[in-house]
Each structure stands twice: as structure tokens, then as C-alpha cells.
Amino acid sequence: MSVSKRLIQAPMYYIQCDWEDHLNKISGEIWVSCKYKEQPSKHGKLVRMNICSDAGNPAVTATEDFNVNLLTHNAIQIGLKDSKFSCIFLAPRSIYSSVHKKSVTSLDIVEGSSCVSVSVDDDSNVAVWLADGEHKLITFTEHVGTVYKCRWFPSGKVILSYGADMNLKIWCSETGRCPVSLKGHKKAITDSAFVDRGRNIVSVSKDGVCKLWDCGEAICIDNLLEINCCINCCSISTCPNNYRLPESGSPPHERESGTDDKIVLTGSEEGDIHCIGIRSRKVLFSLKLQSAVNCCCCIKPGIFVAGCQDGSIHLISVENTDHIITSWLETNNPALSIMPYQENGFFVGHNDGSCVYRSIIDLDSTIRLNLTGPDGDPIYDICCDNKFIYTACRDSCIRKYSPDSYIVRHFQS
């Protein structure tokens, strides 16, 4: 069992999902709560008073030793009087409720643009739509069975989707045509990652295999990893400059491109993490966690974050393979999705509807940032267009947030 060098055990704060609607009204009342892991929750109420707030003194009364340090039309910071920890809750800028009629299971947006998005729901409808959420450009369904995820290729013109039918399908976003299907997995495909511009991709499956594909010829170049349990997630990183990758004993495949300095991390249902050099096909290190690894992402070269079924989150480095750098043990709610943010932190979507930002440069931070809106519905996916954050939720809504000013002020100052 892998040991963490540093454990972080801060409390989780919770707030009524529509808090901004109530606290923007005189005498509006909402509930709040605070819970340390494995301890009873502490509950309280916040009430908007019938007076204007003084500078730096929000016009809200709090019960049960809760206090309010900040209140705007879309953000509120709460804490407990006897605790150094507090949480900033941020309400969504926009809510898109007409794109899908059922649970939104995956979401992606063209990088650098807030115009074109792709998402998929429980009925396996893959929709391409504009950022206003009202104008669908195209909807297509060709998978047999549930679609787990959809992703834009780096070009922003082609879409990758996959799921229970064991196929990775490549779509034209303008016509909805699917000229390429990658076939070879023997069970449902759970995750994927692009190598550079996407000539090659990596996929993982419930069959326990991690595959390297060539998209142009629609062939599997090689199996990078084969284990005896379901692989839930994968993420690709460029290797740090000072890390020496093992050499391959054979020349690269003629259809292999951009893999020389790439590594891929995989997380399994049995808690196993494996890191593989893509070019060498060699396992660089393996770790064993106490719970299934549901999601993972690369934060910066050689630095990964993994989220587990028991709610724990782990920071892992290819340069420190004898231990885990940091573990956050703050909730029992499963981590379902992780997204890197600006190379200094990440957002984690949990099964209880919380979506929390954590910094990797300020590990002693006593503040959390939580994106609000879902009423206990899981956050299945998170994406970013370099300006706004979008979340995919079981309640069929896609929410848009603008967290930058709070992250800069509280986590990067």
C-alpha cells in the first residue's frame, strides 16, 4: 500500500443549492453545514437582514457559530468561528437546461472558444451546440449502447466518442458523419487521451487493456498495459526534462507520432495506478491505493492527480515514485471527475454535487472554492475554455462558472 507524504484533512462545507436566489432577497433564509470526515455534521442557518451591509460586513445573520466573511450577488464565503477553514461558494453564471433532457454524462468545449461545445446524455445523444445553450448545431447517435464520453480532437473540428459498444468513433462535427471506428477492445471503453495533435490516441477499457491507436489507418498500434481488472481512467503527460525515460528495444511503429517524451497514467477498479512510457512500452512505476481510482488528470509535466471511490484525492509525481506527494482526505463522497486548472490546481466533481478547487502550490490554504447549483446530483464531467468552467450533471443541466478572480485572489496571491 502506498504511503502519502502529506495528509490534508480539512472540513467540507455545504450550502443550499439555490442560496443566491434567497440571500439576494430581504429576509431570505438558507441552510449551511460543515462536516469533518468521519464526524457528525454541524448545521446552521443564514438569514439576509433588512439592512444594507457595511463595508466588509455582509448583511447576513448566522446561527450555530457560522459566520459570513464575503457576500456578493454570486459568491459567499462561510466558516465556523472556532475553525481556521472556510469555503467560498460560487453560483453559476448561466444554466443550460435545454441541451439535454436526461443526465449529462460528458462535456467538452473547443479550447480557446466559448462558442462550440459537445456533450452526451444518458440516451447516448451526442449534441454539438453553441454556448448560449439554445442553438444545437447537430445531434447524432450511432453507438449501440451507452456513450460514456465525448471529446474534441485538438483541431476543434472532429469529435471522439466511446462507451459500452467497445468502439471509439471519430465524427465530423459539421455533418455528423462517422468515417472512422476504432475496434479492438473486448469490453466497454472507459477513458481516452490524445497524443499531441491526435494522430495517435490512448484508450482504456473494462477489459483491463490500455491501447495505443493510429487514427488515420484505424489500427491498434500496440497494447501498452494489460491487467486483470477494469481500467477506469487514463491521462497523458509530457515527461519532465530532468527525468530519463527508459529506451525502447525496437524502432517506433511507422504510424506512431509524438510518443518519445510521453507517459500515460492509468487508474483501475482495484486501486492500482500504473505509469507507462508510451514509446518504450515499459511500466515506470505502480502504486496501490485503498479504493477504486475513478478519474485522473495531468496537472503539469510529470504531475498527476487521481480521484477515488472513497472520496480521497492523491497528488502523484513521476519523480517521487516511492510515495504519494499529497492526499486530500476530506469527504467520503466518490470523486467522479477531475480537471486541471492553470497548472497550479484542479477541480474535482463529486458524487454529492460538490465541485471543489484545490491548489497544488498552496497546500496549506485554509480556503476552498466550491461551485454550487446541483441539488445533490453528481458532477460527471468538467471542462474549461480558458475563461469559463462548465460542469455536466445528472440533473440534465450544464452550468457555466467564472472562478478566475477568486482563484487569483485567494490561491495565487
Nearest to 8 by CA among 403, 379, 406, 358: 358
Write phi, then psi, for 234 (nearest 5 degrees).
Answer: -155, 155
Phi, psi values for residue 158, rounded to 5°: -125, 145
141, 148 contact by CB (below 8 A): no
The pLDDT, as a whole number, for residue 275 is 97
pLDDT score recorded for residue 50: 66
User: Hey, CA dihedral for 235, 236, 242, 247, is it positive or negative?
Assistant: positive
pLDDT given at position 228: 96
Q: Are 295 and 311 in contact (CB under 8 A)?
A: no
Closest CA to 173 of 124, 141, 139: 139
The whole-number pLDDT of residue 239 equals: 93
- pLDDT, residue 204, reads 98
Q: What is the pLDDT of residue 401?
A: 96
**Positions in the chain short of pLDDT 70:** 1-2, 50-58, 111-115, 132-134, 413
Strand order in the sheet with 389-393: 94-96, 398-401, 389-393, 379-384
Amino acid 132: pLDDT? 65
